[in-house]
Chains A and B, each alone.
Chain A
Amino acid sequence: MTTLAITPMARPWRQPSVIPGFGLTFGFAMVYLSLIVLIPIALLILRTTQLSWQEYWAIATSERVVAALRLSFGAAVIAAAVNTVFGTIIAWILVRYEFPGKRLLDAIVDLPFALPTAVAGITLTAIFAKNGWVGQFLEPLGIKVAYSALGVVIALIFIGLPFVVRTLQPVILELERETEEAAATLGASRPQTIFRIVLPTLVPAMLTGFVLALARGVGEYGSVVFIAGNLPYRTEIAPLLIVIRLTEFDYNGATAIATIMLAIAFVMFLTINLIQAWARRRFGYV
């Protein structure tokens, strides 16, 4: 963005440049973006106009939809919270400590980005099913993971971890050591420095990571459908309900749920931007 003190009216839309190719690249990018992303999404939203407000409201508040959204959102919140705690610890040790296997650990963090969700889904189910590797030990304790809401949380923890770690790592790297030294010279113990100085400084990044993991979790499908029981009202996530509506050729029902989820995603996206704007204003950095 330019900071020239010219009024927006007088400023041309594009600054002149000697580099050729703007028309070609910008034109192609816009057409492609419109065809693949913008027009289809716009048409999806437009589709809701085939429903009256009453119909839309009835779908949005129907017991099954509310239960699915509550599960998707609730499980994603819990998973994102767990990931924020452990992701912060992981990011911290990856930046601050030297230990054998560090590079391996760092690389593995990206596994959920690289491993197809369906693979994650069946393997998590295999592990946590009642006769599975871990499930067989949890079953006698009365803990049922697979085919329960807990299973959804487990899958979303898997999916969301890298969002938190990768958001925090660069921020921790940028932390000024001097600030921690200053706290120490003022008599603060290491725990006091961590909880009063370091963590508050990391809060914006932790919130951003939390919301990113949350947004991904709410919309997640592949890794969840295998491990969730997919029982209506109980272990059925919102994206699955969209798929079910589609197989019933109930396009309007699917569209209504989809637009609610888009709205949730939009709100979360807005939240991230507000967090970052707030952090920039307050601390002068993100």
Chain B
Amino acid sequence: MSDPALAAPRTWRSPTAEIRPVRALLIGIAAVFIGVFLVFPLVAVFIEALRNGVGAYFGALGDADTQHAIWLTLMVAAIAVPANLVFGIAAAWAISKYEFRGKAFLITLIDLPFSVSPVIAGLIYVIMFGSHGYFGPWLNDHNIQIIFAVPGIVLATIFVTFPFVARELIPLMDEQGTQEEEAAISLGASGWQTFRRVTLPNVKWALMYGVLLCNARAMGEFGAVAVVSGHIRGLTNTMPLHIEILYNDYQWVAAFTVASLLALLALVTLVVKSALEWRFGHELTGGPR
């Protein structure tokens, strides 16, 4: 559409657009707000990390505890993300391809971890597996450690990233209906073949989108992991926890160096997410955006 304001005399105004100064003002307000509250902190991470130069930056990255934290973070994500991926696909299949009572309630339950404080997400596992928890004494007797150990971190991470894949897939698969699957079955395909050759190609971008968000949260989770980890350096410290320790030790540059890695991950996530939305928007949500 042409901009009617260009050709029109000053006395004519478009009935559905604000006048130019108002538009400029609103865009200005939005830009300043986003600039101050979002862009500024993001930029600050990198500037603080490089405050003492590139040498100090890579020096901080070379630290053994830091490297262990990076390794642990990658490992936790490598377990939590596939676990929730499998769950998300199974749940989306069961919910979108069949009609049964209580479906809406089930979807609500899947979303539940989003409305629970991350600290409580950690707490529930401490209550279960901690030394004073339900199964604590039994685990103790058998020399199994979950809390203040890697299994607890994995569990807490799975909890907080639980709904990501499912909630991307369910609305899309629901909208796509069951006709294509029924056609495939009627042509003699098995259930697995139907999923792999018919359903999966239809939802692959939404699936990737869900995995992307799930991974970002898995690597960056702080509260839930802080509760279950015990903060043991070189053992149960993920990157976010390591940032806290360095920060509290007044190792300012080292803390921001580790933070900059996570900020980079966030940036990559945003770029890929925007690219997916821009390129495959209609395949992510079902309808045109």
Q: Which residues of A contact B (CB under 8 A)?
A: 1-2, 8, 11, 13-15, 17-22, 24-26, 28-29, 32-33, 36-38, 40-41, 43-44, 47, 86, 89-90, 92-94, 96-97, 99, 101, 103, 105-124, 126-127, 133-134, 154, 157-158, 161, 173, 177, 180-181, 184-185, 190, 193-194, 215, 218-222, 226, 239-240, 242-243, 246, 249, 251, 254-255, 258, 261-262, 265, 268-269
Main secondary structure on B side of the interface with A: helix
Nearest first, the 4 A-B pairs at minimum CB distance are A116-B220, A219-B117, A184-B15, A222-B222
> Could you tell me if A21 and B112 are in contact, using CB atoms closer than 8 angstroms?
no
CB-based contact B185/A18 at 8 Å: yes
A150, chain B: closest CB distance, angstroms: 14
Q: Judging by beta carbons under 8 Å apart, are B117 and A107 in contact?
A: no
Cα distance A124–B259 in the bound complex, in angstroms: 12
Most chain B CB inside 10 Å of its own CB: which residue of A19, A32, A109, A158: A19
Given contacts A219-B117, A239-B223, contact A114 B269 (CB under 8 A): yes
- Residues on A with C-beta less than 8 A from B101 are 8, 11, 13-14
Q: Closest CB-CB distance, B243 to chain A, in whole Å?
A: 5
CB pair B269–A22 under 8 Å, yes or no, is no
Question: For residue B22, which residue of chain A has the nearest CB?
Answer: A190
Chain A binding surface SS class: helix
The answer to whether the Cβ of B50 comes within 8 Å of any Cβ in the partner chain is no
Q: B34 contacts A36, CB within 8 Å?
A: no
Say whether B263 faces chain A, with CB atoms less than 8 Å apart: yes
The answer, yes or no, to whether B213 is at the interface (CB within 8 Å) is yes
A119 to B94, CA, bound (A): 37
Interface string of B66-98 (1 = CB under 8 A from A): 000000000000000000001101110110011
A residues in contact with B109, CB < 8 Å: 33, 37-38
Indicate whether A40 sits within 8 Å of B128 (C-beta atoms), given known contacts A25-B90, A28-B87, A242-B120. yes
Besides A19-B194, A26-B90, A243-B226, 19 new A-B residue pairs in contact (Cβ under 8 A), listed by A number:
A13-B101, A19-B182, A20-B190, A22-B97, A25-B90, A29-B94, A96-B17, A103-B274, A108-B38, A109-B34, A117-B223, A118-B241, A123-B42, A123-B256, A127-B40, A154-B37, A177-B16, A220-B223, A221-B226
Report which B residues bind A (CB closer than 8 A): 13, 15-19, 22-23, 26-27, 29-31, 33-34, 37-42, 44-45, 48, 86-87, 89-91, 93-94, 97-101, 103-104, 109-110, 112-113, 115-120, 123-128, 130-134, 155, 158-159, 162, 178, 181-182, 185-186, 190-191, 194-195, 213, 216, 219-223, 226-227, 239-241, 243-244, 247, 255-256, 259, 262-263, 265-267, 269-271, 273-274, 278, 289
